[in-house]
Amino acid sequence: MAGNEPIEVENPATEERIGTVHCADPALVDAAVTAAREAFAEWSQTPRADRAKVLGALSSLIGDREEELAQTITRDVGSPITLARRIQAALPKADVDACRAVLDEPEAQEWIGHSQVVREPAGVVAAVTPWNYPLHQAVLKIAPAIAAGCTVVLKPSEVAPLATEALMDLLVAAGVPHGVVNLVHGTGSSVGEALVGHPGIDVVSFTGSTGAGRRVAALAAATPAKVVLELGGKSASVVLDDADLTAAVKVTVANCYLNGGQTCSAWTRLIVPRHRHDEAVDIAAAQAARFAPGDPTDPAARLGPLVSSAQRERVLGMVRAAVADGTRLAFGRTDGGSLPDRGHFVTPVVFSGVDPTARIAQEEVFGPVLVIIPVDGEEEAVAAANAVPYGLHGAVWSADEGRAVAVAARMRTGQVDLNGAAHNPAAPFGGVGASGLGRESGAYGIAEYTTTKAIQFPAGRAS
Ligand code: NAD
């Protein structure tokens, strides 16, 4: 890896340089892991109440700085400012609160016969995060890890690293001791690989693409470290024949285009009864028209640019390939549309009448691209929903909640929202299959950073 090389950070809406971070070299990665190891000795012994206090302070500080954090993320990622305020900057506080609430409860005592089972902090965590929700993804690893008593080396995405610099200041101000959370910048192939393969790491927690996740798991296997993988998605929104079609389609389109479609859990496949397909397409196209790309600093903006020119080319390439394959374009354009002169903007896209096995219905696009899949009956709907290698999120829409629950139970995925239910920052989040393994958020997130120890008591001493 090339040590100390500058990485220029770009505003994707203006293509202007807005900052520089410096790539770590092997000695710096090593020093960060060593600092985390040294800090682990004391932090792992810190009383639960003290860790709760630090998390409480962190939550307050994030709350105080929410507006500034939202502005930073809008400049760094291109997220519309209203979304940046509502999700990018607000969710991290909720993530911390969910961990703090766990620490506020007394620790559960577990006995199996004459064995007491205790949970202990697992050690030093390598946290590698993506650019799409840069603060949320970092906090979603750091908060549960330090709640568990672990120490952390964070490597954020080189594409949008600025929010994590601000986070480091907040961690210090919250009273997180020196060495408990360490930050190294750099690309995945250099700094990322050096970190996840470092012998001083006990847990690798990776969020990113499925391809990179496979490589990370292989590197971590050599040491070996425990691995948590939060990977890509191609989630389905399943509309049953008794559902409110207008509400279901409108919410699905908004969910699909959230953050420019650059959301791992986005519902990018809308599965509808065949006899209502054309109606669904009309509603989706009308809704897509409301997502005109524009200046993300405008509070009315609903769709900003994609994060980089590479991401824009990738998305447009997939859209063109789908059109070339004969997929019907119900809304949008293959050339990106007439857009601002600068910035990595694309117009949103809706494909209709899509076969569940089509490439555009199988692969994660990570842009504002919705496919509408017509099906005959509930069996076919479930089969279509499960016909991808991914299994991260999903939705079911029905007037009959019992029916919706039964369909949700058959979906091979980590989360399902019924009839547009809200995100729960304390509920376990994560995937199956190509979407990864392990869970984040709240108690389940903390559990990933612990290891169990069984202590056997002599006969007559048990519980
Ligand atoms: P990415 O895989 O390119 O990079 C993610 C992070 O991993 C970055 O920090 C990168 O530098 C690092 N990295 C890349 N290759 C690496 C390697 N070989 N070794 C170590 N580190 C490496 O992903 P991205 O483009 O930043 O993010 C988009 C992807 O992340 C999408 O696939 C999206 O679905 C996924 N994602 C998943 C979740 C989830 O919770 N499941 C959440 C957000 C994003």
Query: For residues 158 and 192, is the Cβ–Cβ distance under 8 A?
Result: no
Tell me: do 113 and 240 sit in the same domain: no
pLDDT on residue 341: 83
Portion of the chain with pLDDT greater than 70, in percent: 98
Mean pLDDT of 81-105: 98
Tell me: do 92 and 213 sit in the same domain: yes
Cα(437) to ligand 1 centroid in Å equals 14
Reply yes or no on whether the pLDDT at 1 is more than 50: no
- Measure the CA–CA gap between 235 and 294, rounded to whole angstroms: 26
Residue 132 falls inside a structural domain: yes
Query: For residues 374 and 277, is the Cβ–Cβ distance under 8 A?
Result: yes
| Tens-digit pLDDT profile for residues 329-352 | 999 988 766 688 899 999 999 999
pLDDT on residue 135: 98
Residue 249 falls inside a structural domain: yes
440 confidence band (pLDDT: 50, 70, 90): very high
Reply yes or no on whether the pLDDT at 61 is more than 80: yes
The alpha carbon of residue 210 and the mean position of all alpha carbons in its chain are separated, in whole angstroms, by 12
Tell me: do 30 and 86 sit in the same domain: yes
| Tens-digit pLDDT profile for residues 15-52 | 999 999 999 999 999 999 999 999 999 999 999 999 99
pLDDT on residue 463: 54
Cα(130) to ligand 1 centroid in Å equals 5
Tell me: do 114 and 246 sit in the same domain: no
Residue 35 falls inside a structural domain: yes
- Measure the CA–CA gap between 145 and 304, rounded to whole angstroms: 32
pLDDT on residue 334: 83
* Residue 230 is a catalytic residue: yes
Tell me: do 318 and 405 sit in the same domain: yes
Residue 426 falls inside a structural domain: no
Tell me: do 380 and 360 sit in the same domain: yes
DSSP tally for the chain: helices H, then strands E: 16, 20
Q: How high does pLDDT run on average in the chain? A: 96
Our mutation pick for probing the ligand 1 site, out of 79, 157, 312, 364, counting the most ligand atoms within 8 A of Cβ, is 157
Our mutation pick for probing the ligand 1 site, out of 23, 132, 190, counting the most ligand atoms within 8 A of Cβ, is 132
Residue 316 falls inside a structural domain: yes
Tell me: do 96 and 165 sit in the same domain: yes
- Measure the CA–CA gap between 220 and 195, rounded to whole angstroms: 9
Tell me: do 261 and 144 sit in the same domain: no
Mean pLDDT of 133-162: 98
Residue 32 falls inside a structural domain: yes
286 confidence band (pLDDT: 50, 70, 90): very high
Alpha helices in 3-104 (DSSP H): 26-43, 48-64, 66-77, 81-83, 91-104
Beta bridge pairs of residue 205: 127, 228
Tell me: do 124 and 143 sit in the same domain: yes
Tell me: do 221 and 313 sit in the same domain: no
3 confidence band (pLDDT: 50, 70, 90): low
Q: Which structure tokens are listed for 39?
A: 């800090």
Residue 460 falls inside a structural domain: no
pLDDT on residue 462: 54
Mean pLDDT of 214-240: 98
User: How many CB atoms neighbour CB 291 within 10 A?
Assistant: 23
Query: Would you call 244 helix, strand, or coil by DSSP?
Result: coil
CA neighbor of 434 nearest in space, from 384, 403, 370, 388: 388
pLDDT on residue 460: 62
Reply yes or no on whether the pLDDT at 458 is more than 70: yes
Residue 424 falls inside a structural domain: no
Report if pTM > 0.95.
yes
Place of tokens 């750091």: 142
CATH of the domain at 282: 3.40.309.10
Domain total for the chain? 2
Nearest CA to ligand 1 atom 26: 130
CATH of the domain at 144: 3.40.605.10
Tell me: do 407 and 449 sit in the same domain: no
Tell me: do 76 and 194 sit in the same domain: yes
Which residues span the domain enclosing 243? Answer: 235-418
